[in-house]
Amino acid sequence: MIGTVRTVSSLQDEGLDLYRTMRRPILHRRQGLFVAEGEKVAGRLLESDLAVISVLMTPDHLQRRQELLENRPEPITVLVAEKKLLEEIVGFECHQGIMAVGRVPETVPLETFAAQGLPPRLLVATDHLTSAENTGVLVRNCAAFGASGLITGETSADPWLRRSVRNSMGTIFRLAVLYAGNLPESLRMLRADHGFRIQAAHPHDGGRSIYETDFSGDCCIVFGNEGEGISPAVLDACDETVAVPMAKGVDSLNVACASAAILSEWFRRKY
């Protein structure tokens, strides 16, 4: 439902507090909030089951989405502003005219999540993946290729950061996000207690080709840092390393590309 509708014309309007601080995503994360920006991402948030706090949009977006807003279960603050004001907030032109603030859903403990569902299940884990943009693309790949959830290691970028949400194109709204306080221990728990096979996407030591890898049963595939790959402690917790075959002279792929190749092969085997 629409709680209130108000026109704003100044950056100093108190209703814009959450949007003025959108370049400080860590602050939002501590508050349990996230920002969805752009027509597709904000629209998918409004269509999701996640709680929406407020929406900032141009008058034409309000006209087009009024019915959707009215059908939401929670009261939403709707702030209406001209496109120029939205561009001032984000700091560049050609803004799509809509942003929204949502509430991060409660996190299910990893062990509880692992005990649910039927095999074959696919989990994806990140080890020191620091780029929010790459994390967002990885989220999108997880959703595209049937992963049940994304495990965020303690040194990795949070998938609910603004740039990650944007690069996920809103697919994060339907993917379980899980957290590991100690990723090696969490991976060992998945193997010992729940029968997952732990596979490291790690091309540097002649890992097995993805076309020769056993993806049967429950799998957890780990992706590492953009420059250094997977840490020794996490590698030690994995059953094997897997790699995308490449031409000579190319030693690795960007994690977004590598994850698409590996996860698509898992998906091909399943379907």
Indicate if the alpha-carbon torsion angle 126, 132, 136, 138 is positive or negative.
negative
**Cα–Cα distance measured from residue 216 to residue 108, given in angstroms and rounded to the nearest whole number:** 25
**Cα–Cα distance measured from residue 48 to residue 50, given in angstroms and rounded to the nearest whole number:** 6
Closest to 164 measured CA to CA, from 253, 31, 42, 36: 36
pLDDT at res. 34: 94
pLDDT at res. 206: 64
pLDDT at res. 17: 86
State the angle between helix axes of 39-47 and 59-70 in degrees (0 to 180), rounded to the nearest 10.
20
Which domains occur in the chain, in start order?
2-103 (3.30.1330.30), 110-270 (3.40.1280.10)
pLDDT at res. 204: 67
pLDDT at res. 42: 96
DSSP E strand boundaries for 12-75: 33-37, 52-57
Residue whose pair of structure tokens reads 């993806």 in the numeric block: 215
pLDDT at res. 226: 81
Each residue of 216-241: pLDDT tens digit? 999 999 999 988 899 999 999 999 99
CB count within 10 Å of CB 251 equals: 8
**Cα–Cα distance measured from residue 122 to residue 263, given in angstroms and rounded to the nearest whole number:** 9
The residue ranges of the chain whose pLDDT is under 70 are 22-23, 91-95, 204-206
pLDDT at res. 156: 97
pLDDT at res. 91: 67
State the angle between helix axes of 132-144 and 255-270 in degrees (0 to 180), rounded to the nearest 10.
10
- What global pTM score does this model have? 0.93
